[in-house]
């Protein structure tokens, strides 16, 4: 796709961060916007920011992307009120439980996978028929650089983002001869509130989350226009991507551990750290 004027763009997680940046940028391009977020107040703030922009129409709905019935209902409402979707951006996500495997509770795994992975699956499947009916369109699924490498205290988050990667790469092959394009995004340290409320979340945000979301959004739009399928971008994204394939797993794990060790809680890790001889 080259032109987004008067085209229907669906964006999940539009209440803040990357999702809000997508909404503002596509509004400037004259699109019709279908916006979702679990946070109703954040979503309304985004809608308010769109007033006075060239956006043709704006439809917003607050719901959990991990709710399949709610996603299917949203797809039906979008079609009825805005027409078939042309682009679906599965952006919504949560940061995870922020604990090592032995300290994480089952609910953290279930919640993180339900939102970060199944939310992408539900969004893709709900809107894919509309894109196929158009004979054109794009699917943008947001993974993470943590969908390229595993990092400590993020096993639930990494599992979800690796799953998004596998799902999307399979979809790319399945739609190889279709008129649709599929794009897999691996953001690095983007300045969003993804780590808000997590253990050491403020320190993690200060150290790693530095890239302006608007910069990434413009890169994603260029990928849609050019057909580029994978985008690895953002603070420290390139070294993590190189690390994911360029060195041995053993060396990679040592480097990652050294980088993140200062963020680990000694009380939680005491039971696994080696005792001095």
DSSP 8-state class, residue 88: E
Instruction: Please name the residues in contact with 258: beta carbons below 8 A apart, sequence gap of 6 or more.
Output: none
Would residue 78 count as lying in a domain?
A: yes
Would residue 16 count as lying in a domain?
A: yes
Mean pLDDT (10-residue bins), the chain, 277 residues:
95 95 97 98 98 97 98 98 98 94 97 98 98 96 96 96 98 98 90 56 54 89 97 87 94 94 92 74
User: What CATH number did the domain enclosing 158 receive?
Assistant: 3.40.50.720
Query: Which pLDDT value is given to residue 189?
Result: 73
Q: How many CA atoms lie within 13 A of 46 on its CB side?
A: 34
Cα torsion for 160, 165, 171, 177, to the nearest 10°?
170
Query: Which pLDDT value is given to residue 256?
Result: 94
Edge-to-edge strands of the sheet including 57-62?
A: 57-62, 32-37, 8-11, 87-90, 137-142, 180-187, 230-233
pTM for this model (two decimals) = 0.91
φ, ψ for residue 62, nearest 5 deg: -90, 120
Would residue 116 count as lying in a domain?
A: yes
Instruction: Please name the residues in contact with 4: beta carbons below 8 A apart, sequence gap of 6 or more.
Output: 26, 29, 30, 31, 86, 87, 221
Would residue 2 count as lying in a domain?
A: no
Per residue in 119-146, pLDDT (tens digit) is 999 999 999 999 999 999 999 999 999 9
Mark whether 122 is an active-site residue. Answer: no
Query: Which pLDDT value is given to residue 195?
Result: 46
Report how far residue 106's alpha carbon sits from residue 124's, in angstroms, rounded to the nearest whole number.
26
Would residue 145 count as lying in a domain?
A: yes
Per residue in 7-31, pLDDT (tens digit) is 999 999 999 999 999 999 999 999 9
Task: Count up the domains in the chain and report the number.
Answer: 1
3-state helix, strand, coil in the chain (%, to 5): 50, 15, 35
Domain that holds residue 225: 8-269
> Which residue has 């053993």 as its token pair?
250
Instruction: Please name the residues in contact with 163: beta carbons below 8 A apart, sequence gap of 6 or more.
Output: 113, 116, 117
DSSP 8-state class, residue 211: B
Catalytic residue among 122, 157, 257, 269: 157
Would residue 60 count as lying in a domain?
A: yes
Would residue 109 count as lying in a domain?
A: yes
Would residue 239 count as lying in a domain?
A: yes
């Amino acid at each position: 796709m080259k032109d987004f004027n008067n085209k229907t763009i669906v964006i999940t997680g539009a209440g803040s961060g990357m999702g809000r940046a997508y909404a503002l940028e596509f509004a400037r391009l004259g699109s019709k916007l279908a916006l979702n977020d679990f946070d109703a107040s954040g979503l309304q703030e985004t809608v308010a920011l769109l007033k006075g922009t060239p956006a043709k129409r704006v439809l917003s709905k607050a719901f959990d992307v991990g709710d399949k019935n709610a996603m299917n209902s949203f797809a039906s409402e979008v079609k009825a009120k805005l027409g078939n979707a042309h682009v679906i951006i599965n952006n919504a996500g949560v940061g995870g439980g922020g604990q090592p495997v032995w300290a994480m509770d089952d609910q953290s795994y279930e919640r993180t996978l339900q939102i970060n992975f199944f939310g992408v699956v539900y969004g893709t499947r709900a809107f894919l028929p509309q894109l196929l009916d158009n004979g054109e369109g794009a699917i943008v699924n947001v993974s993470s650089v943590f969908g390229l490498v595993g990092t400590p205290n993020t096993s639930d988050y990494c599992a979800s983002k690796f799953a998004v990667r596998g799902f999307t790469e399979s979809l790319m092959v399945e739609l190889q001869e279709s008129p649709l394009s599929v794009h897999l995004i691996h953001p690095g340290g983007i300045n969003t509130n993804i780590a808000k409320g997590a253990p050491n979340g403020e320190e993690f945000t200060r150290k790693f989350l530095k890239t302006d979301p608007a910069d990434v959004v413009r890169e994603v739009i260029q990928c849609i226009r050019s057909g580029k399928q994978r985008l690895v971008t953002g603070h420290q994204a390139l070294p993590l991507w190189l690390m994911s394939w360029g060195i041995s797993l053993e060396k990679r794990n040592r480097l990652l551990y050294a980088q993140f060790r200062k963020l680990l809680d000694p009380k939680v890790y005491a039971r696994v750290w080696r005792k001095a001889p």
